[in-house]
Structure 1
């Protein structure tokens, strides 16, 4: 009876905590889940500032990327995501809880991109950390593709520090496009080696698309050495 009372008390305390401060609690739960599902190597998380606005940019490999990066960050992150996924009847409550920012193509919803950028600007001006994938889509081949101009539009409006990141190990997973459209088949592996490397902050004045793309490529190459050693060795053979 005492044990049940303790469990109920803990459940009520957790519910109260989530109601008052949902994002930090959700971040901790996501981090624990990511650690359970993947063998995660994390480097450079200290580069995310403890206070103040910042932008995190990373390559985009799978639909799990935002959860891996958000869970690894020492601060809750706002992040841009495709509106069709945001509107998922099963997960929309979670995306709203963590403050995700949905974005849709102009062809499907004229004015949506402008509204999404306004929300990013509002979050940055309130001192939050926002994460985005400058490629604008999941990689179709595992490689990093050209960064889009939306990154520079954001920084022109709100010149905040930028933290680049490189993610490796999720290409080939069920949530990537490696074996056809993401999440169209069955999960193929569990406890995969995943590496996430954050880099030093870039002042906004030096944060052009080209500079940040090169830095993300370099960080991903570093992460590849741990997450995908066999692939790296094959590339290095004469």
Structure 2
């Protein structure tokens, strides 16, 4: 009985801990999962403030970006996502569990953007970290595209530090738009190099849209160099 009793008690204890802290447990599982899927390199994680609110701004390459950034951040992260994806059957419970913030276009849902901004404000004022993909869509060609006004709308309400971040190595995966629509292809790349680089935080008054976009582009170039060269 002792041979299996101890592992069983440990498993029950882990389950109980996960029920008490589901987001923390899920974050650790995500961290393990992305390490199994990719050969990861993180740089600059110390730039994320240890305490208090912050806004992480990153380029958008694939449908797993939020998992990589969420797993790579040293603190739990809330992230914005399109409402149709948020309400996906079978995944809605997961997005609710991790605290995703759904956002819809004003054309589809008048008032949807305001409600999303209200939730972002609540999270930031509670001292949480929120992640934003300011391009507003997956890149169609692997490059960083013009940032939209969401960053400015958030900072106008809550002037918090902005941490630029950049992903490289996910362009070409089956969750990106390279070679056809994302998720419409069979996976072909396994254990690919993926880099996530964080830059020094910018004060809200210095975080103009064009300046943050330039920082993200520069970080992406550095991350791309490691993905290609491995040094």
Residue 90 of structure 2 corresponds to which residue in structure 1? 90
Task: Check conservation: 1:80, 1:131, Cα contact below 8 A.
Answer: yes
- Specify the SS of the correspondent of 1:108: coil
Counterpart for residue 68 of structure 2: 68
What are the within-5 Å matches in structure 2 for residues 6-45 of structure 1? Answer: 6-45=6-45
**More deviation, 152-161/105-114:** 105-114
Shift of 1:104: 1.5
Q: Distance in 1 between matches of 2:12 and 2:132?
A: 34
1:191-233: CA deviation from partner (whole Å, max 9, x where unpaired): 0000110001101110010000000000000000011339xxx
Q: How many residues align?
A: 230
If the length of structure 1 is used for normalisation, what is the TM-score?
A: 0.94
Q: Distance in 1 between matches of 2:6 and 2:72?
A: 30
State the match for 1:151 in structure 2. 151
**TM-score, with length taken from structure 2:** 0.96
- Contact 1:168/1:228, CA 8 A, preserved across alignment: no
Q: Which runs of 5+ in 2 are unaligned?
A: none
Tell me which residue corresponds to 2:110. 110
Which segments of structure 1 move beyond 3 Å, counting only runs of 4 or more?
A: none
State the superposition RMSD in angstroms.
Answer: 1.2
Q: CA deviation at 1:61?
A: 0.1
Tell me, which stretches of 5 or more residues in structure 1 are unaligned? 231-238
Query: Distance between the aligned counterparts of 1:86 and 1:13, measured in 2?
Result: 31
Structure 1 residue 36: Cα displacement: 0.6
Q: Secondary structure at the match of 1:228?
A: helix
Instruction: Name the structure 2 match of 1:100.
Output: 100
C-alpha distance in structure 1 between counterparts of 2:109 and 2:45, whole Å: 36
| Structure-2 change in CA distance of 1:84 and 1:202 (3 Å) | same
Match of 2:166 in 1: 166
Q: Deviations over 1:6-55 (max 9, x none)?
A: 23222221222122222222111101100110000100011111110000
2: CA distance between counterparts of 1:13 and 1:135? 42
